[in-house]
Amino acid sequence: MRYGHFDDERREYVITRPDTPLPWINYLGSEDYIALLSNTGGGYSFVRDARLRRLIRYRYNNAPLDVGGRFLYLRDDTSGDYWNPGWQPTQRDLDEYACRHGLGYTVIGGTRGGIRTETTYLVPPGQTIEAWRVSVTNERQEAAHISLFGAVEFCLWDAQDDATNFQRNLSIGEVLVEDDVIYHLTEYRERRDHFAWFACSVPVSGFDTSREAFLGPYRGWERPLAVDHGTMSGSIAHGWQPVGALQAELRLGPGQSREVVFVLGYTENPPDAKFDPPASGHPDTARARAVLESYRQDGRVERDLASLREAWEERLGVFQVATGDLHVDRMVNTWNPYQCMVTFNLSRSASMFESGIGRGMGFRDSNQDLLGFVHLVPQRARERILDIAATQLPDGGAYHQYQPLTKRGNDDIGGGFNDDPLWLVLAVAAYAKETGDLAILDVPVPWDNAEGSESPLRDHLRRCISFTLDRLGPHGLPLIGRADWNDCLNLNVFSERPGDSFQTAPNRPGGVAESVFIAALFVLAAREAAALARLRDDEAEAVRCEDAAASMTAAIEAHAWDGAWYRRAYDYFGRPVGSTENDEGQIFIEPQGLMAMAGVGLEDDRARTALASVRAHLATAHGIMLHQPAFTSYHLELGEISSYPPGYKENGGVFCHTNPWIMIGEAITGDAEGALDYYLRINPSAREAISEVHRCEPYVYAQMIAGRDAASHGEAKNSWLTGTAAWNMVAIGQWILGIRPEHHGLRVEPVIPAGWAGFSATRRFRGTAYEIEVRRRGDGHPGAVAGTARPGAVQLVVDGRPIEGTVIPLPEPGTSLVRVEVWLP
């Protein structure tokens, strides 16, 4: 069952009924001001940091889940009828409803009793505001007297404190109302030099700033007294819950429309010029008023919308495809890169499942997010790499997270996740391949942000590799530390007390638990590090990395093969995890794809055997599960993984992040059908038709789909902020469609199913546009053309001339266009 449809032409998802199974959200803003907006107007906003600079108060895990955040009410002043054009929170029936989530903007339209409302929400580029442009049309035969109310409930900045520290917070709220603008001034009198404000583009007929006055005692947002009665009380909040609520009266003749723009803004003043007049205690509102003024001009929102669209067209123009497969095209061309931008911006901080007060920027997460984003805005990827590397510890290890506001490593969680540093190598390699900018390796970067400790980025990479080599266990495999990619495989924790963190509780001393996953990741990273070193003529480092990769491969071959797949780990006691020797958790997904990606098991065919085992034991119609059998009881020696009920999250859920590794493995071993088949199983668009099962948004990936052991098999959770976005972009773009940046040029080596006649693509790469046409000579089966062994065997014709191999040599500088014909068997 569907709750809407894609509008591919406009790059929008159109939700046609408001009661989606979960709030289906969008993100507005990709710079300082970020807004989460649901299909019924819910969600909240913040500036730079979802915890410390929260503008709108929001209650997670509420009933209903999404009560609102941005409130718009319409009232028919003749009949007294009132409703929300986005349905929530009054839930009064709408004759028509549609929510269009687009790239950086959302339009929600709702009609009731002949009054049509359409609201465009956006965060304008370069501004720290959100604008809601509301257009109200009277479709009746007679004149209508309508009141339009806009409201927000202010968060007292620190979202964590706001939700807990009531003894203070119920006394500190302060507002100022001047010239129809409501200023939220809490703590401005003391250490803050920023405030929020709420206003609209037309003269208002009333306002409230006290929640209790606006809603009325014992009433909620579904029945506000001021709306019910049609009059505001002009309340001024002193403590309690400050809100911004405004009423505009609209007198509309038949067929007439009016436009009102509401603006929720954030303004910072220089610390020594906060007050006007100086020391008066009265805030300097000049900056805020100037911004507001520009939103009182006609056409301002239209212009912002146009520049947003233009920016996205430009960005998405880097890579566009026409494959004939609807689900591939719409995810690759629009929604997957869009989600990659959001994960790049927000890491795992704020979504409907991440409250914005927990995790900062993940070291591992941010490096991986970059893999799917680097081609969109390489300059920002470069800055990110340098920020991440600056948090690295002198021993090569990493803080598991850092704070976006301070860019400092987070001491609360610390380090010791032994896979973390290796992801930095992959991120730098991806950046260098995309841009050719090897100079980044020479940029001085501090250790643990300590001034004066700088050494070139290449030294950071060197220590990433050494970090693993300095921590090998009894089988010569990497020690796991607190955990590896699977945060919940806590082999050294032995957590017995409820509430103890699995991640940060002290590890039992003397642990020798080893990770086969890190071994595979190491081989992959060491090969990338060797290539980078060689490009910088550092032969000694290149050889060191290659030798290390070779010895790690030997350790894997000797100790990690279980007979039909790779083992997952060795536990604290040296016993295998992910082996037929175990009762549960016999086979894990993570190493199986990664080995092929690292080039391990290709010659002895173990990679292919492992992938066949994945298909036999882990694949479901809803994606590939993390492991089987799921753990049915808690295992002290395994940790959080066995704490989840079977089928959920890391205990045998379909953890979508890992599925692309299998797709890539299938592509590398030449199984085109298998790779695309897995791709489509978790592709959100391909799951749109089962939205009542999947439940999350059909336009973005979710972190997890409940596995076969779960009662709700097929149900997705934790949409938006997941490494799944980046890795699927890599799997489909670079390995299945096969358009892959390399150090010496763009490789084109598609591994597409026999049933596909070909596809076309455009790719901007290092300043040149590549127009790529992929066609078949034969019927797509191996051997269809003499001399080709596998379906991937490819012949390239570049600007009319056949070339050797599949890497297009870099053209003369300044070349704007290269035409590539790609012939498949």
User: Where do contacts with ligand BGC occur on this chain (CB under 6 A)?
Assistant: 359, 487-488, 503, 640, 649-650
Min dist CB 230 to ligand BGC, Å, is: 48
**Would you say 717 or 776 has its CB closer to ligand BGC?**
717
Q: Which does 460 bind (CB under 5 to 8 A by kind): ligand BGC, ligand NOJ, none?
A: none
Binding residues for ligand NOJ restricted to 302-361, rule: CB under 6 A:
348
Q: Which does 622 bind (CB under 5 to 8 A by kind): ligand NOJ, ligand BGC, none?
A: none
485 binds ligand NOJ (CB under 6 A): yes
For 454, counting Cβ atoms within 10 Å of its Cβ (0-12 exposed, 13-18 middle, 19+ buried), the class is: middle
User: For residue 10, which phi and psi values (nearest 5 degrees)?
Assistant: -90, 0
**Would you say 420 or 487 has its CB closer to ligand BGC?**
487
Q: Which helix (H) or strand (E) holds 705?
A: strand 702-705
CA end-to-end distance (rounded Å), the chain: 39
631 binds ligand NOJ (CB under 6 A): no
Q: How far apart are CA 268 and CA 787, in angstroms?
A: 67
Of the candidate spans 326-334, 480-488, 664-672, 707-715, the one that interacts with ligand NOJ by CB under 6 A turns out to be: 480-488
Q: How far apart are CA 67 and CA 631, in angstroms?
A: 36
Q: How far apart are CA 333 and CA 449, in angstroms?
A: 38
Percent composition of the chain: helix, strand, coil (DSSP 3-state, to 5): 30, 25, 45
Among 118, 162, 208, 365, binds ligand NOJ (CB under 6 A): 365
Min dist CB 206 to ligand BGC, Å, is: 46
Among 304, 650, 697, 821, binds ligand NOJ (CB under 6 A): 650
364 binds ligand NOJ (CB under 6 A): yes
487 binds ligand NOJ (CB under 6 A): yes
Query: Residue type at 317?
Result: G
Min dist CB 482 to ligand BGC, Å, is: 10
463 binds ligand NOJ (CB under 6 A): no
3-state secondary structure 290-355: HHHHHHCCCCHHHHHHHHHHHHHHHHHCCEEEECCCHHHHHHHHHHHHHHHHHHHHHCCCECCCCE
Q: Which does 118 bind (CB under 5 to 8 A by kind): ligand NOJ, ligand BGC, none?
A: none
Q: Given phi > 0 = left and psi -120 to 50 = alpha, else beta, which region is 336?
A: alpha
Contact 495, 483 (CB under 8 A): no
Closest-CB residue for ligand NOJ?
487
Min dist CB 659 to ligand NOJ, Å, is: 13
3-state secondary structure 16-48: CCCCCCCCCEEEECCCCEEEEEECCCECCEEEC
| Contact mark string toward ligand NOJ, 534..563, x via CB under 6 A | ------------------------------
Q: How far apart are CA 627 and CA 709, in angstroms?
A: 11
Q: Which does 592 bind (CB under 5 to 8 A by kind): ligand BGC, ligand NOJ, none?
A: none
Min dist CB 359 to ligand NOJ, Å, is: 7
Which tokens is 730 given? 């890599």
Q: How far apart are CA 60 and CA 155, in angstroms?
A: 13
Q: Which does 162 bind (CB under 5 to 8 A by kind): ligand NOJ, ligand BGC, none?
A: none
**Would you say 361 or 675 has its CB closer to ligand BGC?**
361
Min dist CB 502 to ligand BGC, Å, is: 7
Contact 301, 122 (CB under 8 A): yes
Q: Which does 416 bind (CB under 5 to 8 A by kind): ligand BGC, ligand NOJ, none?
A: none
Q: Which does 649 bind (CB under 5 to 8 A by kind): ligand NOJ, ligand BGC, none?
A: ligand BGC
12 binds ligand NOJ (CB under 6 A): no
Q: How far apart are CA 685 and CA 132, in angstroms?
A: 28
Min dist CB 488 to ligand NOJ, Å, is: 5
**Would you say 132 or 588 has its CB closer to ligand NOJ?**
588
Active-site residue flag, 487: yes
Q: Which does 485 bind (CB under 5 to 8 A by kind): ligand BGC, ligand NOJ, none?
A: ligand NOJ
**Would you say 458 or 649 has its CB closer to ligand BGC?**
649
Q: How far apart are CA 630 and CA 645, in angstroms?
A: 9
Cα-Cα-Cα-Cα dihedral sign, residues 631, 635, 641, 644: positive
Q: Which does 365 bind (CB under 5 to 8 A by kind): ligand NOJ, ligand BGC, none?
A: ligand NOJ
Query: Residue type at 290?
Result: A
Min dist CB 643 to ligand NOJ, Å, is: 13
Catalytic pick from 49, 76, 420, 487? 487
Which tokens is 810 given? 């870099």
CA 599 to the chain's CA centroid = 29
Closest-CB residue for ligand BGC?
487
Q: How far apart are CA 328 and CA 685, in angstroms?
A: 9
Question: Which letter does DSSP use for residue 523 in this model?
Answer: H
488 binds ligand NOJ (CB under 6 A): yes
**Would you say 115 or 730 has its CB closer to ligand NOJ?**
730
**Would you say 346 or 461 has its CB closer to ligand NOJ?**
346
Q: How far apart are CA 491 and CA 784, in angstroms?
A: 50
Query: Nearest to residue 463, comparing CAs of 448, 475, 476?
Result: 448
**Would you say 650 or 671 has its CB closer to ligand BGC?**
650
Question: Three-class SS of residue 511?
Answer: coil
Of the candidate spans 192-200, 284-292, 362-370, 547-555, the one that interacts with ligand NOJ by CB under 6 A turns out to be: 362-370
Q: Which does 362 bind (CB under 5 to 8 A by kind): ligand NOJ, ligand BGC, none?
A: ligand NOJ
Binding site for ligand NOJ (CB under 6 A): 348, 362, 364-365, 485-488, 650
Residues tagged active-site: 487
